[in-house]
């Protein structure tokens, strides 16, 4: 490590932080100095990074001075507490939480969709979108440019790793319990299964789906925060403040990979063939006959397929399609690192 940026990863020991560290190495991000931060519980441990050993610092007490970029995956509370301090010390904060996304002085950036917005970081903070919204943006951007997006109806199939390690552990423990009872293949009746009491989710997640991802927002609209993020973040990223969006966010027993079933309505007609032609050339997008989260897990692109004319929209102005994307990579860590790359590319050569 010599020339390059001085980079911090905040929340370095968590699920997304771990992927951030891996991606910085994989993508050969130009690093002059690397620092890892976490809460007091994880501070003090040593993590190897390439050929270096890095001692994790306590984010509460560490001095952020000297950092160029701070990649935050510390939750909304951690981000509200610490991101302004890191920004004030001179770092550009790239934040993975929901804390700053709707702040008009904080750009919300998908690297392939609105990279120009990184220049509008008036608080020194750039926000990374919600993982579900993220998956759809590279696809919808090119379709919007062609035909003028007017309305989105979305049902999601969200992986448990979107709830952090505890989500994956809850699914795994319930599956193990079912396996030990030898009820697999006999489970034709809910009564036959005795699963551990759910903790992370309001219902069992093994061999089940839960149509409540996130928490109901107390504004009388009965939507979850996930469903509101899908609307508000799509509008901000696509720069379509009036876009009509209805989402139903559902958790499914998948470890990694968020999927969306989308019915999109446009101002102009657009055929499935034309959509495929555009998407074949779109950055961050890969066409698939039958996109699945297991295919997407461990990969970068948003896989998109099952593209059809929505037969319920007059005049060929509707498309139905299905998207799967790795919620920990593009949905979180990868896009954050890509934003860091946009910033690094703007620096004068050392």
List binding-site positions for NADP(+).
13-16, 41-42, 161-162, 327
36 vs 303 by CB, closer to a copy of itself: 303
92 vs 335 by CB, closer to a copy of itself: 335
- 249 is known as an active-site residue: no
Whether 330 contacts 301, CB under 8 Å = yes
Shortest Cβ distance from residue 341 to a copy of itself (Å)?
22
Q: Distance between CA atoms of 85 and 10, rounded to whole angstroms?
A: 12
Shortest Cβ distance from residue 243 to a copy of itself (Å)?
9
Q: Distance between CA atoms of 273 and 321, rounded to whole angstroms?
A: 12
Hey, what are 176's tokens? 């193990």
131: enclosing H helix or E strand: helix 131-147
86 vs 157 by CB, closer to a copy of itself: 157
188 vs 346 by CB, closer to a copy of itself: 188
Q: Distance between CA atoms of 172 and 207, rounded to whole angstroms?
A: 11
- 131 is known as an active-site residue: yes
Q: Which residues make up each annotated binding site?
A: 13-16, 41-42, 101, 158, 161-162, 228, 251, 327
Backbone conformation region of residue 341, classed left if phi is above 0, alpha if psi is from -120 to 50, else beta: alpha
Q: Which residues make up each annotated binding site for substrate?
A: 158, 251
Short-list 302, 305, 292, CA closest to 330 = 302
Q: Which of 82, 144, 249, 258 is catalytic?
A: 258
Q: Distance between CA atoms of 309 and 321, rounded to whole angstroms?
A: 9
Shortest Cβ distance from residue 123 to a copy of itself (Å)?
29
Give 349: exposed, middle or buried? Use CB within 10 Å, 0-12, 13-18, 19+.
Answer: exposed
Q: Which of 82, 131, 144, 249 is catalytic?
A: 131
Contacts of 346 (CB under 8 A, 6+ apart): 118
Show which residues are catalytic. Answer: 131, 258
């Amino acid at each position: 490590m010599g020339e390059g940026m001085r980079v911090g990863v905040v929340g370095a020991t968590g699920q997304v932080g771990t992927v951030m560290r891996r991606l910085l190495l994989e993508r050969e991000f130009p690093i002059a100095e690397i620092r890892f931060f976490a809460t007091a519980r994880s501070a003090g441990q040593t993590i190897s990074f390439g050929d270096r050993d890095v001692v994790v610092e306590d984010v509460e007490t560490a001095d952020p001075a000297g950092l160029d970029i701070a990649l935050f995956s510390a939750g909304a509370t951690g981000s509200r507490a610490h991101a302004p301090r890191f920004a004030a010390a001179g770092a550009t904060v790239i934040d993975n939480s929901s804390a700053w996304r709707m702040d008009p002085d904080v750009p919300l950036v998908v690297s392939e969709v609105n990279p120009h917005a990184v220049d509008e970081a008036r608080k020194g903070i750039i926000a990374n979108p919600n993982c579900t919204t993220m998956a759809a943006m590279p696809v919808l951007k090119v379709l919007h440019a062609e035909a003028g997006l007017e309305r989105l109806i979305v049902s999601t199939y969200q992986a448990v790793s979107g709830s952090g390690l505890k989500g994956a552990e809850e699914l795994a423990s319930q599956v193990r319990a079912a396996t030990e009872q030898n009820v697999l293949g006999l489970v034709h009746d809910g009564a036959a299964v005795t699963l551990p009491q759910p903790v992370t989710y309001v219902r069992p997640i093994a061999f089940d789906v839960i149509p409540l991802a996130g928490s109901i927002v107390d504004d009388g609209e009965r939507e979850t925060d996930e469903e509101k993020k899908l609307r508000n973040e799509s509008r901000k990223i696509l720069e379509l403040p009036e876009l009509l969006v209805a989402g139903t966010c559902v958790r499914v027993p998948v470890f990694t990979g968020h999927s969306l079933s989308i019915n999109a309505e446009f101002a102009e007609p657009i055929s499935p063939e034309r959509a495929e032609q555009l998407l074949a050339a779109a950055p961050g997008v890969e066409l698939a006959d039958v996109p699945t989260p297991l295919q997407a897990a461990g990969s970068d692109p948003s896989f998109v397929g099952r593209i059809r004319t929505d037969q319920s929209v007059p005049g060929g102005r509707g498309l139905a399609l299905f998207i799967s994307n790795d919620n920990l990579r593009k949905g979180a860590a990868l896009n954050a690192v890509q934003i860091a790359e946009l910033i690094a590319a703007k620096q004068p050569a050392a």
